């Protein structure tokens, strides 16, 4: 059997080499299918890889308490002043839910003025708590962050955010749309750690500088406004000095930690709001976990659609191989008759044509794997699309699928060849 297989490989290789143009056209669709398949597989792998990174970096069991403006303006005659979810309410929620991984209160102001050394720049300030660091902290910190002593005593301390150099495609965007370029320049060229700065006329001490991760290490968190934040201060200090908006009103981000217990955690937060603020529905608990799941499902759906296209290309290649193998059978009818006459069995004839077809499939799979790697890594990097995370097993699976496809579509032509009677085959011209 081994000898017969080796002879079939040798004969098949010689036949492919003798008809190079026909062979190239035969495995070209297989090669295209391999390229699409590898790209789609890497996209799915990348989606799951990002999901795991997201789970570590930003958490998935996320919810957010936001003010429901509609409840305040629901009456055409009477405006209802909304209650304040402030720092004291935040501490109370944290005390009642110690099992939550994060309970972070935030208040923001989009335009503030920071002054240092006679230079005045526009900055956006966010009042936060020490738990702000637990999620989406894509920074390298020099100095220190706030602690609860800073919060309770409403100390005038701040942490400055130093932006990473933008990738080439973002330079023009930042130049045109960002109003804080002067702040970025100041923080980049001055070491302000330990220095005194003025924010809206109030003196603060810079206790830390958070340097943003470079683009290659950055994760997309679920607090998009962080991209615009320049200065962090204790939320109690911001409310006390009127630097942040809302008069002490906080937007609260919560991570329950355990995805399986997310629904129970959400019910606990809703009960807390009902007990402390009544049935006025002045606050809404936004389910971010559901949004995350929808986004991940959409990405997987796109990748599966791409895989389907790859499988269609494989099938098209298999049909092409079947047609070529049938044509080969009819062009080599006399050869088949000679082989049968000198003792070749039907299985020997089938093996010959199946091996030739599988060689075509393997060649197409290998070529497609090479092209898939070239497209997924160097070409995508050159085009600024980011390299695909191609793993060694992906091309191997692609080559295996190509070989199996060729094998499946070669069975019928090989069966036709094996079914030829020796006498009829010898009479063929």
Quote the pLDDT of residue 222. 47
User: pLDDT band at residue 161, thresholds of 50, 70 and 90?
Assistant: very high
Q: What is the mean pLDDT of residues 61-84?
A: 77
How many angstroms from the chain centroid is the CA of residue 37? 18
- The top-scoring range by mean pLDDT among 40-54, 177-191, 264-278 is 264-278
Q: What's the confidence (pLDDT) of residue 289?
A: 75
pLDDT of residue 141: 95
* Cβ atoms < 10 Å from Cβ of 289: 20
Task: Tell me the mean pLDDT in the region 409-425.
Answer: 76
pLDDT tens for each residue of 337-373: 777 777 777 887 888 888 888 888 888 888 888 888 8
What confidence tens digit (pLDDT) does each residue in 76-112 have? 777 777 788 999 999 999 999 999 999 999 998 878 9
Position 7 confidence tier, pLDDT thresholds 50, 70, 90 = low
Distances (CA, A) of 295 to 229, 290, 368, 419: 25, 9, 30, 54
Residue 205, beta-bridge partner list: 157, 196
Q: What is the pLDDT of residue 48?
A: 76
Q: Which residues contact 83 (CB under 8 A, 6 or more apart)?
A: 277, 280, 282
3-state SS track over the chain: CHHHHHHHHHHHHHHHHHCHHHHHHHHHHHHHHHHHHHHHHHHHHHHHHHHHHHHHHCCCCEEEEEECHHHHCCCCCCCCCCCCCCHHHHHHHHHHCCCCCEEEEEEEEEEEEEEECCEEEEEEEEEECHHHHHCCCCEEEEECCCCHHHHHCCCCEEEEEECCCCCHHHHHHHHHHCCCHHHHHHHHHCCCCCCEEEECCEEEEEEEEEEECCHHHCCCCCCHHHHHCCEEEEHHHHHHCCCCCCCCCCEEEEECCCHHHHHHHHHHHHHHHHHHHCCCCCEEEEEHHHHHHHHHHHHHHHHHHHHHHHHHHHHHHHHHHHHHHHHHHHHCHHHHHHHHHCCCCHHHHHHHHHHHHHHHHHHHHHHHHHHHHHHHHHHHHHCCCCCCCCCCHHHHHHHHHHHHHHHHHHHHHHHHHHCCCHHHHHHCC
Domain boundaries, the chain: 2-55+296-427, 83-281
Q: Tell me what pLDDT residue 57 has.
A: 78
Contact 104, 326 (CB under 8 A): no
Q: Which residue has the higher pLDDT, 33 or 231?
A: 231
Question: Which residue would you say has higher pLDDT here, 73 or 327?
Answer: 327
Residue 169 CA to residue 128 CA, distance in Å, equals 31
**What is the rounded average pLDDT for all residues in the chain?**
81
pLDDT band of residue 278 (cuts 50, 70, 90) is confident
Of these ranges, 46-50, 315-319, 419-423, the one predicted with the greatest mean pLDDT is 315-319
User: Who wins on pLDDT, 266 or 388?
Assistant: 266
Q: Are 388 and 380 in contact (CB under 8 A)?
A: yes
CA atoms within 13 A on the CB side of 242: 2
User: In this predicted structure, what is the pLDDT of residue 167?
Assistant: 61
What confidence score (pLDDT) does residue 172 get?
Answer: 47
pTM of the complete model: 0.67
Burial group, residue 267, by CB count within 10 angstroms (0-12, 13-18, 19+): exposed
Predicted confidence at residue 340, as pLDDT, reads: 72
Residues 128, 210 contacting (CB under 8 angstroms): no
Give the model's confidence band at 211: pLDDT under 50 very low, under 70 low, under 90 confident, else very high: very high
Instruction: Answer yes or no: is pLDDT of 66 > 70.
Output: yes
> Tens of pLDDT along 217-270?
666 554 445 667 899 999 999 999 989 876 778 989 999 988 888 889 999 999
């Amino acid at each position: 059997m081994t000898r017969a297989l080796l002879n079939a490989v040798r004969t098949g290789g010689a036949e492919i080499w003798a008809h190079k143009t026909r062979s190239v056209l035969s495995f070209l669709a297989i090669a295209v299918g391999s390229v699409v398949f590898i790209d789609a597989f890497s996209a799915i792998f990348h989606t799951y890889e990002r999901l795991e990174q997201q789970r570590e970096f930003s958490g998935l069991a996320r919810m957010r308490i936001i003010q429901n403006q509609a409840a305040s303006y629901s009456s055409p005659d009477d405006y209802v002043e909304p209650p304040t979810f402030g720092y004291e309410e935040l501490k109370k929620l944290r005390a009642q839910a110690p099992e939550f991984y994060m309970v972070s209160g935030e208040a923001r102001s989009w335009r503030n003025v920071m002054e240092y050394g006679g230079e005045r720049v526009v900055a956006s300030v966010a009042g936060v708590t020490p738990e702000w660091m637990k999620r989406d902290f894509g920074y390298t910190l020099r100095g220190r962050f706030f602690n609860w002593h800073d919060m309770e005593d409403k100390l005038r301390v701040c942490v400055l955010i130093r932006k990473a150099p933008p990738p080439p495609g973002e330079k023009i965007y930042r130049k045109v749309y960002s109003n804080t370029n002067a702040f970025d320049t100041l923080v980049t060229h001055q070491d302000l750690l330990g220095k005194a700065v003025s924010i809206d006329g109030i003196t603060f001490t810079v206790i830390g500088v958070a340097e943003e991760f470079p683009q290659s290490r950055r994760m997309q968190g679920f607090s998009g406004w962080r991209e615009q934040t320049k200065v962090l201060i204790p939320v109690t200090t911001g409310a006390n000095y009127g630097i942040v908006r809302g008069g002490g009103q906080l937007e609260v981000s919560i991570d329950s930690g355990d995805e399986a217990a997310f629904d129970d955690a959400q019910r606990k937060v809703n009960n807390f709001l009902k007990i402390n603020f009544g049935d006025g529905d002045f606050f809404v608990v936004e389910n971010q976990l559901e949004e995350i799941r929808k986004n991940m499902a959409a990405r997987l759906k796109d990748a599966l659609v791409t895989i389907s296209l790859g499988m269609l290309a494989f099938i098209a290649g298999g049909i092409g191989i079947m047609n070529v193998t049938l044509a080969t059978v009819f062009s080599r009818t006399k050869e088949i008759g000679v082989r049968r006459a000198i003792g070749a069995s039907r299985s020997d004839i089938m093996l010959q044509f199946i091996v030739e077809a599988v060689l075509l499939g393997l060649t197409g799979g290998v070529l497609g794997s090479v092209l898939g790697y070239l497209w997924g890594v160097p070409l995508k990097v050159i085009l600024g699309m980011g390299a695909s995370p191609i793993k060694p097993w992906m091309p191997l699976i692609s080559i295996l699928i190509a070989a199996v496809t060729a094998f499946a579509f070669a069975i019928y032509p090989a069966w036709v060849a094996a079914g030829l009677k020796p006498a009829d085959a010898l009479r063929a011209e």
